[in-house]
Structure formats: structure tokens, C-alpha cells
Structure 1
Amino acid sequence: MRNLSLIAALAVTLAACAQQAPPKDRFYRLETPPVAARFAAPALGVIEVSRPTTDGVLSERPLAYQDGDGTLGRYRYDLWAEPPTALLQNALVDSLRLSGISHTVITPETRVPPDWMVRGRLNRFEMLAGAGKVVANVELAVVSSRDGSLLLLKTYQVEVPSAAGPEAEAAALTQASGDIITAFIADLGRVAKP
């Protein structure tokens, strides 16, 4: 009887120690938006697109959200495939190439001297949980590599309604990024001189 009690106690202890496996990590990408403006001829020379800068939570891969009290949090198992700044850089490069505004669009890693440099700062890229929307805020600048003159400097902010949850947030932030990139290319087309 004593052995039976010992085995039962051991079984209860082991059952209490057993934990459920954590959920699987889920990864999200930013899809390149369809290009609304296609230029008949390149208006700019070689454009170099750098990775935007950012700080804190936005420099990490977990999807971020803002609680009703204004504090930022992040999902534990829902991640961007790369940091948001890298995803935004890739989407900018792809969209600029598709638009035809330049005959060559590169990143700094190619080590080719550019005519123009696109620099940026990612200020916001999160779900506003209490408001049912996402917000993306990016400052973008286009600077001459020859003389440092500024061709374009603008802060773009887009808010997109979104259901709660990381999947809906990722989709809404993809849409917001696409809206920002579309507006940026349109603005760049207005100030570029062929």
C-alpha cells in the first residue's frame, strides 16, 4: 500500500511539472505594394536606399502594440520575418525599381556610388489596441550624394483600421506601408527633374 501511495504521489508531482508546449512562432512579411505611378523615363540617376533608423521596440522583430494606457508591448510568438526597418527598406527598393523613376536602385551593400540617397526614420509601426487601428509613421529624405542638397523631406503617417490580433495587425501594417511608399514615390516624381 505504501508503494502505491508513493507511486500516486510521484505521478501527481510529475503531472504538475509537465507544461504545455509553447505556441509555434509565426512570421510575417511586408508585401511590396502595387506601383500606382510608372514613369516613362527615369527622372533620377542611381538611387541608394538605406535601412531606416529606429529605436527601442521597433528595432526588434516582435510585432508591437500600444495598450489603451499608452504603454507599448509586443507579441511573444508573432514576429516580423526581419526587423521592420529591413522590411521597409526592401519594400522601398522593390517599389522604386518597379516605378521606373530611376534606372538603378541599390542598397549600400552594393558599394556603387549613388546620385541620390534615400534616408529614413521609422517613428511608429504598431497596433493601437484600444482604437482598432494600426499606425505607421516614417520620415523619408532624398539627399544628393554630390553636394548634400535636399530634394525631398517629408514625414508620412498612415492609420488603417484593423481587427485585434497579430495576423490582422500585420496585414494592416502592410497596407499602411504600401500607402506610405505610394505617396513617397508620387512626391518624388513631382520634385524630380529628368
Structure 2
Amino acid sequence: MIREEEAFERRKARKGKRRRESGCPKKTVWPVWTATILLATALAGCGAARPSKYYQLTLPGDQAAAQGADPVPATLLLGPLSASHLYREDRIVYSSPGEQMGMYEYQRWAEPPTEMIQEVLLRELQTSSHYKAVYVERSNAGGDFLIRGRLYDFKEISGTAMLAKVTFELEMRDLKSGSTVWTHYYTHDEPVSGRDVSAVVAALNRNVQAALKEMLASLNQYFAGHPFK
């Protein structure tokens, strides 16, 4: 009887062991080649980052213009240009028909437009040799007149005919009297000869150069009619 009970218990134990083994989940072992394929697929989905392109405006040469009459004996200080935050960043701005505006992600200026235009204007004034001295406005800089301005538009206008729009206003204040003695407003839509961003940049550059030449002529005309001594 005992032997029969022992044999029964052994059979019961073997059945329980088989049930426990069949109930345990088996660990999946992936072949090496399968893991390699999964890794390659993941890497293929992560392409290299798209490079950004940077552009800048044309600066006048360092050579001073041929001097004719004696320069105006005035020291000019050039202050910063104020603008919307769009033009205080380095991304190129575009506008669509209506009132929508946007910024290119990978097409950028070397510097924010406000800083680039200020630099071009500074160099134009300095190389003109028309004034005693021209400096950037600083806390320790002394001068007779202060020129400041605001940039309203510096963007691509998309449409049937693409345009490069530049709008800004400058004013000059007499630092002795504190009064504004000269202002100049400029706006122009320059045609874009192409459909890519580089063509837009070229048109904006032409527009800025024309604007600054017009501004310098207006400023020279002011001093011609209001001699400074």
C-alpha cells in the first residue's frame, strides 16, 4: 500500500512540474541578424540635419569717396534701429497674400536686419567723407547730431510677381537743442528676378543700397540748406 501511495505521489509531482513549466512564459531570443535590421531601420529614419544658409548685405568699400568741398564740421552719432521682433532675429521673413507672415527655418541672415542696415549706413556715412566724424552711439560718445530710425518692412512678398519690400524711417536730432531737425521716409517694392531665396536676398540688397543713397542725398541737402558751424 505504501509503495502504491509513493508511486502515486511521484506521478502527481511529475504532472505538477509539467504544468508549471508549460505555464511559464518563454523568453524570446532575437537572432542577431534581426536586431541588426531593426537598428539599421531606426538609423535610416534619422537623416542628417539640413544645413542652414546665411546671407548678408553688401558693405561699402573701405576706400573713402573723393572729397570735394570741405566736410560739414559736425560729428554724427548713429543709434540703433528699432523694429518688430521679426527683424531683430536672423531668419528671413516672408509674407503671403493677405496678412500672413512667416520665417524661413534654414534661410538666415548673418546678423539681424536692424544690425546689418545700421552697419551699412554707418559705413556709407563714414566713407562719404562728407562729415567731420561719424560714430556709433555709445554712452561715452560725444556728438552734435543723433540719427535714429525704425525698420517697418524687410521681407519677401510672395505672389504672382515676387517682391522684396523695404520700409524704414530715419530722423536726426540736434543734441544741443534737443529738437528733431530732419526726417526721411523710404518705402519701395523691388522686383525679384527669380523664385528662390537667393534671388529675394539680392533684391532686398539692391533695395537697401538704393534707400541709403537716397537717404544720404537727403541728409546732404539738409546740411546744404542749414550750414553748421
TM-score between both structures, scaled by the size of structure 2: 0.76
From the superposition, tell whether residues 39 and 136 of structure 1 become closer, same or farther in structure 2 (CA, over 3 Å). farther
What displacement does 1:100 show?
1.9
Point out which structure has higher relative CO (alpha carbons under 8 A, 6+ apart).
Answer: 1
Q: Indicate yes or no: 2:54 matched with 1:27.
A: yes
Runs of 4+ in 1 over 6 A off after TM superposition: 34-38
Shift of 1:110: 7.1
**Secondary structure class of the residue paired with 1:52:** strand
C-alpha contact 2:91 2:103 (8 A) present in aligned 1: yes
Answering whether residue 197 of structure 2 is matched by residue 166 of structure 1, we say: yes
Tell me if structure 1 keeps the 8 A contact 2:148–2:170: yes
Supply the AA of the counterpart residue of 1:63: I
CA contact (8 A) 1:41 1:100 kept: no
Distance change in 2, residues 1:42/1:58 (3 Å): same
Distance (Å, rounded) in 2 between the aligned partners of 1:39 and 1:185: 16
Distance 2:33 2:57 in 1: 58
Q: 1:175 aligns with which of 164, 186, 206?
A: 206
Structure 2 gaps, min length 5: 1-29
Output one character per residue of 1:133-184: Cα deviation in whole Å (capped at 9) or x when no partner.
1000010001111112222112111221112322112111111111111000
Which of 116, 129, 147 is equivalent to 2:177? 147
Question: Structure 1 residues 47 and 101, CA, compared in 2 at 3 Å: closer, same or farther?
Answer: same
Q: Deviations over 1:70-95 (max 9, x none)?
A: 31111111111111111111111100
TM-score (norm 1): 0.88
Distance in 1 of aligned mates of 2:68 and 2:89: 35
CA contact (8 A) 1:140 1:154 kept: yes
For residues 51 and 135 of structure 1, what CA distance do their matches in structure 2 show?
20
Shift of the alpha carbon at 1:114?
A: 0.9
Provide the secondary structure at the position in 2 that maps to 1:92: helix
Q: Residues of 1 paired with 2:102 and 2:73: CA distance?
A: 41
Structure 1 residue runs of 5 or longer lacking an equivalent are none
In angstroms, what is the RMSD of aligned CA positions? 2.5
Task: Answer yes or no: is the 8 Å Cα contact 1:142–1:151 preserved in 2.
Answer: yes
Q: 1:165 to 1:9 in 2, by over 3 A?
A: same
Aligned length: 193
Determine what percentage of the aligned residue pairs are the same residue. 25
DSSP-derived class of the 2:80 partner: coil
